[in-house]
Amino acid sequence: MKSILTLLLLTASLKTFAHGEDKLGPNGGYLKMPAGFHTEVVPEKDGKLKVYLLDIKFKNPTVKNSKVTASLNNGSKKDLNCIAKRDHFICDSTKAELTKGTLNITAERSSVKASEAVYELPLALAKSATEMKGEDHGSHH
Protein backbone atom coordinates (compact mmCIF):
# COMPACT_ATOMS: atom_id res chain seq x y z
CA MET A 1 0.00 0.00 0.00
CA LYS A 2 2.83 2.37 0.87
CA SER A 3 4.42 1.74 -2.56
CA ILE A 4 1.16 2.51 -4.34
CA LEU A 5 0.71 5.75 -2.39
CA THR A 6 4.29 6.79 -3.16
CA LEU A 7 3.81 6.01 -6.86
CA LEU A 8 0.58 8.01 -6.98
CA LEU A 9 2.20 10.99 -5.26
CA LEU A 10 5.18 10.91 -7.60
CA THR A 11 2.99 10.60 -10.69
CA ALA A 12 0.80 13.51 -9.60
CA SER A 13 3.80 15.64 -8.68
CA LEU A 14 5.58 14.94 -11.98
CA LYS A 15 2.46 15.96 -13.90
CA THR A 16 2.19 19.13 -11.83
CA PHE A 17 5.85 20.04 -12.16
CA ALA A 18 5.89 19.33 -15.90
CA HIS A 19 3.44 22.22 -16.21
CA GLY A 20 5.47 24.57 -13.99
CA GLU A 21 3.09 24.80 -11.04
CA ASP A 22 6.00 24.51 -8.61
CA LYS A 23 7.59 27.74 -9.91
CA LEU A 24 6.37 31.27 -10.46
CA GLY A 25 5.52 32.22 -14.03
CA PRO A 26 7.29 34.80 -16.19
CA ASN A 27 5.18 37.61 -14.69
CA GLY A 28 5.69 36.45 -11.09
CA GLY A 29 2.35 34.66 -10.86
CA TYR A 30 0.86 31.23 -10.22
CA LEU A 31 0.49 28.83 -13.14
CA LYS A 32 -2.06 26.25 -14.29
CA MET A 33 -2.41 24.46 -17.62
CA PRO A 34 -6.13 24.03 -18.37
CA ALA A 35 -5.57 23.39 -22.12
CA GLY A 36 -2.80 23.72 -24.70
CA PHE A 37 -1.90 26.98 -22.97
CA HIS A 38 -1.20 28.25 -19.45
CA THR A 39 -3.07 30.64 -17.18
CA GLU A 40 -0.91 32.78 -14.90
CA VAL A 41 -2.54 34.62 -11.99
CA VAL A 42 -0.64 37.57 -10.53
CA PRO A 43 -2.15 39.08 -7.37
CA GLU A 44 -1.81 42.87 -7.17
CA LYS A 45 -1.24 44.79 -3.91
CA ASP A 46 -4.85 46.01 -3.91
CA GLY A 47 -6.21 42.45 -4.31
CA LYS A 48 -7.05 42.70 -8.00
CA LEU A 49 -5.80 39.84 -10.15
CA LYS A 50 -3.88 40.00 -13.40
CA VAL A 51 -4.56 36.94 -15.54
CA TYR A 52 -2.16 36.18 -18.38
CA LEU A 53 -2.95 33.63 -21.10
CA LEU A 54 0.45 32.20 -22.08
CA ASP A 55 1.40 29.77 -24.81
CA ILE A 56 2.70 26.26 -24.11
CA LYS A 57 6.23 27.66 -23.60
CA PHE A 58 5.05 30.21 -20.98
CA LYS A 59 5.41 33.09 -23.48
CA ASN A 60 3.41 35.37 -25.78
CA PRO A 61 0.54 36.56 -23.56
CA THR A 62 -2.49 37.55 -25.62
CA VAL A 63 -6.01 38.90 -25.26
CA LYS A 64 -6.82 38.75 -28.99
CA ASN A 65 -9.74 36.36 -29.63
CA SER A 66 -9.53 35.52 -25.92
CA LYS A 67 -11.67 35.81 -22.81
CA VAL A 68 -11.50 35.10 -19.09
CA THR A 69 -14.28 34.45 -16.60
CA ALA A 70 -13.41 34.07 -12.94
CA SER A 71 -15.20 33.33 -9.71
CA LEU A 72 -14.33 33.01 -6.04
CA ASN A 73 -15.81 30.09 -4.12
CA ASN A 74 -15.54 30.15 -0.33
CA GLY A 75 -18.90 28.96 0.87
CA SER A 76 -20.69 31.09 -1.68
CA LYS A 77 -19.83 31.89 -5.28
CA LYS A 78 -18.85 35.39 -6.39
CA ASP A 79 -18.32 36.14 -10.08
CA LEU A 80 -15.46 38.54 -10.77
CA ASN A 81 -15.52 41.24 -13.43
CA CYS A 82 -12.56 40.63 -15.79
CA ILE A 83 -11.50 43.24 -18.36
CA ALA A 84 -8.98 42.79 -21.18
CA LYS A 85 -5.93 45.07 -21.12
CA ARG A 86 -2.98 45.17 -23.56
CA ASP A 87 -1.59 41.67 -22.83
CA HIS A 88 -3.56 40.42 -19.80
CA PHE A 89 -6.93 40.56 -18.07
CA ILE A 90 -7.66 42.39 -14.79
CA CYS A 91 -10.21 40.74 -12.50
CA ASP A 92 -11.73 42.71 -9.62
CA SER A 93 -11.28 41.18 -6.17
CA THR A 94 -10.00 42.24 -2.77
CA LYS A 95 -7.20 40.92 -0.55
CA ALA A 96 -9.76 39.72 2.00
CA GLU A 97 -11.49 37.58 -0.64
CA LEU A 98 -8.25 35.77 -1.55
CA THR A 99 -7.63 34.13 1.84
CA LYS A 100 -9.65 30.90 1.56
CA GLY A 101 -11.61 28.76 -0.86
CA THR A 102 -10.85 28.58 -4.57
CA LEU A 103 -10.34 30.89 -7.51
CA ASN A 104 -11.92 29.31 -10.59
CA ILE A 105 -10.88 30.56 -14.02
CA THR A 106 -12.35 29.59 -17.36
CA ALA A 107 -10.32 30.93 -20.26
CA GLU A 108 -10.28 30.99 -24.01
CA ARG A 109 -6.94 31.88 -25.68
CA SER A 110 -6.88 32.72 -29.39
CA SER A 111 -10.26 30.96 -29.76
CA VAL A 112 -9.01 27.79 -27.97
CA LYS A 113 -11.30 26.93 -25.04
CA ALA A 114 -9.88 25.49 -21.83
CA SER A 115 -11.12 23.44 -18.92
CA GLU A 116 -11.64 25.29 -15.68
CA ALA A 117 -8.39 26.14 -13.86
CA VAL A 118 -8.87 25.87 -10.09
CA TYR A 119 -6.45 27.73 -7.82
CA GLU A 120 -6.52 26.97 -4.09
CA LEU A 121 -6.58 30.08 -1.89
CA PRO A 122 -4.48 31.59 -0.55
CA LEU A 123 -2.41 31.36 -3.74
CA ALA A 124 0.76 29.30 -3.29
CA LEU A 125 3.21 27.26 -5.32
CA ALA A 126 2.69 23.52 -5.62
CA LYS A 127 5.00 21.60 -3.32
CA SER A 128 8.10 20.17 -4.94
CA ALA A 129 8.82 16.43 -4.84
CA THR A 130 11.56 17.11 -2.27
CA GLU A 131 9.16 18.95 0.03
CA MET A 132 6.55 16.21 -0.35
CA LYS A 133 9.09 13.49 0.46
CA GLY A 134 10.09 15.27 3.68
CA GLU A 135 6.55 15.66 5.01
CA ASP A 136 5.51 13.71 8.09
CA HIS A 137 2.69 11.42 7.00
CA GLY A 138 2.04 10.20 10.55
CA SER A 139 -0.80 7.68 10.42
CA HIS A 140 -0.26 6.87 6.72
CA HIS A 141 2.48 4.33 7.56
Q: Is there a contact between 105 and 52 (Cβ–Cβ < 8 Å)?
A: no
pLDDT at 72 over 70: yes
pLDDT at position 19, please?
58
pLDDT tens for 101-135 read: 999 999 999 999 999 999 999 999 988 755 655 65
Report the percentage of the chain scoring pLDDT > 70. Answer: 77
pLDDT at 64 over 50: yes
3-class secondary structure, 2: helix
Of 45, 47, 38, nearest in space to 114 by CA: 38
Grade residue 38 by pLDDT with cuts at 50, 70 and 90: very high
**Structural domains in the chain?**
2-125 (2.60.40)
